[in-house]
Amino acid sequence: MACAAPAWAAVTEADFFDELPVVLSVSRMSQPVSEAPAAVTIIDQDMIRATGFRDIPDLLRLVPGFSIAYTRDNTWAVGYHGMAESFSRRFQVLVDGRSIYNAIYGEVNWGELPLSVDDIERIEVVRGPNAAMYGANAFLAVINIITKDPSQTPGAFASFQYGEQGMSGVTLRYGGMQDDLRYRMTLSAQNRDRFETDAFDGDIPLQVHEESQTYFINGRADYRLSVTDELSAQFGLTVGDWQAGYSLHPDEPVGQDVSAQYIQLKFRRTHSADNEWMVHAYFSRNVMDAPNITPLVPPVSPVATPYMLDAGRDLEQTRANIEFQENRRFSPEWRMVWGAELRRETVESKYYFDTHDKLSGTLSRAYANLEWRARPDLLVQGGAMLEHHYLTGADISPRVALNYTVGEGHTLRLSLSQAYRSPTFFEQKGNLAYYTTTGIPVLQLYAPSDPLQPERILSREIGYVGQYAALNMQLDAKLFHDTIDDYINHRVKDENGVNVYPRLFSNRDDFTVRGGDLQLSWRPLPALQLSAQYARAFIHADASIDKGLQRSAPRDNFSLLARYDMGQGWMASTGVYQLARMLWLSGGNTILTHTRVDARLARRWKWQGREVEAAVVGQSLGGDYEEFRHTNVFSRRVYGSLSFAW
C-alpha cells in the first residue's frame, strides 16, 4: 500500500479527488495516472457505494469497454472490446496480489470469492495487455482488487440488505489495533436469485434455477515488526449451496455445492517510498461438487438425445504461489522494479478430463520494469516478462511507453506492448464424454487437442490524460489498434450447420481490434460529481473464421454515474449503463441494445454513538432486459440496506 508514505500507510480518498489519482497496478510502482504506461480506471469506495451494486463483477460496468453479464450456474461473463464469453480466460484478476482465475478453463470464480464489497478500498483496472508485469492471462486487462487496510476498519460494522428477487445479505466485521498489530475479521451470508424463474426459449416455456446461498469468512492481520518491516497474513473460507440449470435440460445438475479456501502471507521491508522489497506467498483451493444425474426418459439415439447423462461436474483445483519483488530508485531520474515468481497448479475433474488422475503444472516467470525521467516533460518506461508455462514453454512479453507532458496537466502517452495467453488445462487436455447409466459411451463432446500455441496480442496505443482544474474535470482517452494471432477456439458447426463432435480446440483465428476509450470525471458543483465512460470497438476478421467473433464487440458501450450530496446526510445517485447489440460467445445469444438505469437514495446520521446509513436501491428501473441469453431476464427490482458502525 506504499505510495509516498511508510508501507503501513493507507491510500486516502484525497489521493483520488485532490489531484490526479495514484495507481499501483500498471507498472508495480506507485505513479499518477498521467505517468502510467497504460490506460487505467480506478473505482473507489464512494463510487462502489453510490452504484448500489453488491456483486463485484457488476462494478466493472463502470470501466469503458467492458461488457458484463451473469451467464448461468452462478458464473459471470466479462469481455473487453469484444471476445466476451462465459469463461473470462483473457483477464488477470488479483485480490491483494493473489490471482483468482480458475486454472481448469480460465474462469474467474466471482461467486465463491470470500470478499465483501464493504471491504474493498478500490479497484484498479488496467485497460489493455499487461503481461510485461503480470504474465499469462494479463492478455486484455488486469483487474486488481485492493482491500482496506485494517487501520481503515476500526471497531464493529454491520450491514444488512433485503429486497425483491430473493436478494438478501448480512455482513459483520470487527477490526482493531493493539500496539503494532492491526486486524480485522469479516463474516457474511448472501442470497441471490438474479433472474426471473419463469422464462421462454423462443416459444418454449422453461424455468431458470439460479438461486444461491453463499457464506464466507475472511480475516487479515498486519504486524509492524520494526520501523522498516511488516508482516501481513490473510485467510478466507467460502461455502455455497447453489441451484443451477434450467428445465429445458433436466439431465443437467440442478444443484452445486462449492467451497473455496486461501491463506496468504506477505513480508515487506521498506526503506523509503521507492526502495523496498517483499516476499509474497499464498495457497488457494477451489472445489465444486455437482451430483450425478440419471436421465428422466430412456435415450432414443445419440443424435436425438445427446445429453442423456451428465457424469457429475465435480472438480478441484489448487494453486501454490511464491513471489519476490524489489522496488529501487537509483537516482532522481531512474527507478526500477524487478521480481520473480513460481507457481504450482493442480486440477482434478472426472467430468472435464474423463480420468480420476490429477493434472498439474509448474509456471515460472521473471520480470523487470525500468523508468527513466529523460527530461522534466518526458518519461520513458520499458519492461518485459520472461515466462515458462507448463503447457507452451517459454515466451517473452515486452512493453515500451513514452509519456510526454505537452503542458501543465496535459500528457500524451504512446505505448507498444506484446502479451501471450497460454491455453487452459481444458483447452489442451479436455476430454468430456457422455455415458449411459451402464457406462456405455454415447457422445464424445470434447477431445484432447493437438499441442496448442499461446495466443499473442500486439497492442498499439495513443493515450491522453488531462486535468482541467478550472472546470474540476479530469479526462482520460485512448485510441488503440490490437493485432491478435493464434486465437484459440473450436468449431461448433460445420459448413452445413451440423454440430461438430468431438470438438477440438485449435489456433484458428487471426484478427484485429481497433477503437477508442474515454472516461471523464467532472465536478460541476461542489455537491455534484459525474463519472462517465464510453468505448467504441470494431473487430476485423477474415470471413473464413468464426463470424460470431466479429459480432462479440458492441459498437457502443456507455455508462454514467451521478452522485449528488443533498446535505443533512442525504445522498442521491443514479447509474446509467448502456450496451449496444452484441453476441455473447460460448453459449450466449445476440442481445439487443439495452439501457439499464439504477438509482440509490441514502442518508447517514448518528444514533447512540453509532454511524448509521439507510439506503433504498432501485435496479433496472427502465424495464426488463435480457442478459447473456434470452432466457436470462433481469427485471425491475428494489432492495433496502441498513448499516451500523461503532
Give per-residue pLDDT as tens, 523-538.
Answer: 999 999 999 999 999 9
pLDDT of 288 reads 86
pLDDT at 438: 67
Counting beta carbons within 10 angstroms of the beta carbon of residue 65, is it exposed (0 to 12), middle (13 to 18) or buried (19 or more)?
A: buried
Would you call 134 helix, strand, or coil by DSSP? helix
Which pLDDT value is given to residue 495? 74
Query: How high is the mean pLDDT of the chain?
Result: 89
Report the CATH architecture of 14-645. Answer: Beta Barrel (2.40)
Largest CA distance in the chain: 76
**pTM of the predicted model as reported, rounded to 2 decimal places:** 0.92
Residues (pLDDT < 70) of the chain are 1-19, 247-253, 291-313, 436-438, 543-546
pLDDT tens per residue across span 448-469: 999 999 999 999 999 999 999 9
d(CA 300, CA 247): 19
| C-alpha cell read off for 194 | 438474479
- Contact between residue 43 and residue 61 where contact means Cβ atoms under 8 Å apart: no
- The DSSP code sequence of 265-319 is EEEEEEEETTEEEEEEEEEEEEEEE------SS----TTT-S-S------EEEEE
- pLDDT value for 631: 87
Q: What is the pLDDT of residue 6?
A: 35
What pLDDT score was predicted for residue 314?
83
In the chain, where the domains are located: 14-645
Res 3: pLDDT: 37
Dig out the grid coordinates for 28 from the structure.
Answer: 508495480
Site of grid cell 498439474: 360
State how far the Cα of 4 lies from the Cα of 51, in Å rounded to an integer: 30
| Alpha-carbon span 521 to 614, nearest angstrom | 26
| Residues 315 and 104: beta-carbon distance below 8 Å | yes
pLDDT at residue 11 in the model:
42
Residue 512 · residue 539 · CB < 8 Å: yes
Which residue bears the cell 491478435? 484
Instruction: Quote the CA–CA distance of 316 and 349 in Å, as a whole number.
Output: 7
